[in-house]
């Protein structure tokens, strides 16, 4: 197995002729985020001009009818607009890493958006829901910590209360570790579905868990190897160079872990589509 340094060198070599494309993709992503922020600001100014209360405090977003409606709109935008674009960007990086023409993939996705976009949405939504389900016990234990440690601090803490408080702390720590372990286990599902758009989300998660079995330490080692770039990320502007580099490094890492499972189905699908589309 290649070392972290070798994987990054391999990614840098693959990125060699695609720096311009990578930077352009990062600019597109940043422009999308900027457009969203501008839209939110304009929306705030519009409602403020009309004298309608509109803010971003949790009490307003989840405690009022209009706040809940706007939160739902944001979630739907995230699922059905942002996620398909993220899928396309990630797929372009896979093509760049594999040395293929990403324009054909882009054209294929555009012409088959009715099938690709829903799959892209579910490929993000279902793993996110699975993570939330696994994480849900932590929310209950955190509530136990808050209730017995802070809400009841003015009252005498009973033996049972102290016991529940300590159990909640221990459970939160342990289950957070379980959650991190689970997230690492299904981390390759994203690449499995990028390589095979017809793969089931659950099958991709199962295969990812199988591949990642015993490799969680390797994953954490590779992840922590990027810690030295954190100061540059805080400067923002280096992100235009670091983003393509990070994406290619993760493609290299995923290919290394997946081994023979790294089978790209898109070229054959595009070839068949080109044949019958004429």
pLDDT per position as a tens digit, 143-154: 888 887 777 665
Which residue is it, tokens 């990027």? 226
As a whole number of Å, the CA-based R_g of the chain is 23
Q: SS3 for 74?
A: helix
Instruction: Say if CB 197 and CB 119 are below 8 A apart.
Output: yes
Mean pLDDT of the chain: 88
pLDDT tens digits for range 102-134: 888 888 888 888 888 888 888 888 888 899 999
Instruction: Say if CB 109 and CB 90 are below 8 A apart.
Output: no
Helix intervals (H) in 64-158: 65-77, 83-98, 102-111, 113-146
Residues of the chain with pLDDT under 70: 152-157, 277-278
Predicted pLDDT of residue 78: 84
Instruction: Say if CB 131 and CB 107 are below 8 A apart.
Output: no
**Longest C-alpha distance within the chain, in Å?**
79
**Angle, CA 202 vertex, CA 263 and CA 84 arms, to 5°:** 70
- 3 by Cβ neighbours in 10 Å (0-12 / 13-18 / 19+) ranks as exposed
Predicted pLDDT of residue 155: 66
Which residue is it, tokens 């023409």? 101
The span from the CA of 82 to the CA of 131, in Å, is 19
Instruction: Say if CB 223 and CB 7 are below 8 A apart.
Output: no
């Amino acid at each position: 197995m290649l070392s972290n340094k070798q994987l990054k060198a391999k990614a840098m070599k693959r990125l060699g002729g695609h720096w311009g494309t990578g930077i352009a993709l990062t600019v597109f992503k940043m422009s999308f985020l900027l457009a969203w922020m501008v839209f939110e600001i304009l929306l705030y100014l519009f409602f403020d001009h009309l004298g309608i209360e509109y803010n971003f405090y949790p009490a307003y977003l989840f405690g009022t009818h209009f706040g809940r409606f706007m939160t739902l709109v944001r979630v739907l935008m995230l699922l059905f607009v942002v996620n398909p674009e993220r899928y396309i960007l990630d797929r372009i990086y896979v093509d760049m890493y594999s040395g293929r023409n990403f324009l054909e993939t882009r054209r294929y996705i555009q012409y088959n958006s009715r099938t690709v976009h829903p799959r892209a949405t579910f490929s993000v939504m279902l793993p996110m829901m699975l993570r939330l389900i696994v994480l849900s016990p932590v929310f209950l234990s955190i509530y136990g910590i808050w209730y017995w440690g802070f809400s009841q601090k003015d009252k005498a803490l009973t033996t049972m209360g102290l016991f529940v408080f300590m159990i909640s702390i221990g459970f939160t720590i342990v289950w957070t570790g379980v959650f991190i372990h689970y997230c690492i286990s299904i981390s390759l599902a994203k690449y499995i579905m990028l390589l095979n758009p017809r793969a089931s989300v659950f099958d991709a998660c199962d295969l990812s868990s199988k591949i990642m079995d015993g490799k969680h330490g390797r994953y954490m080692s590779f992840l922590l190897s990027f810690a030295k770039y954190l100061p540059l990320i805080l400067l923002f502007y280096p992100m235009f160079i670091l983003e393509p580099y990070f994406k290619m490094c993760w493609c290299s890492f995923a290919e290394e872990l997946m081994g023979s499972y790294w089978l790209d189905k898109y070229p054959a699908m595009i070839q068949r589509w080109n044949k019958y589309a004429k």
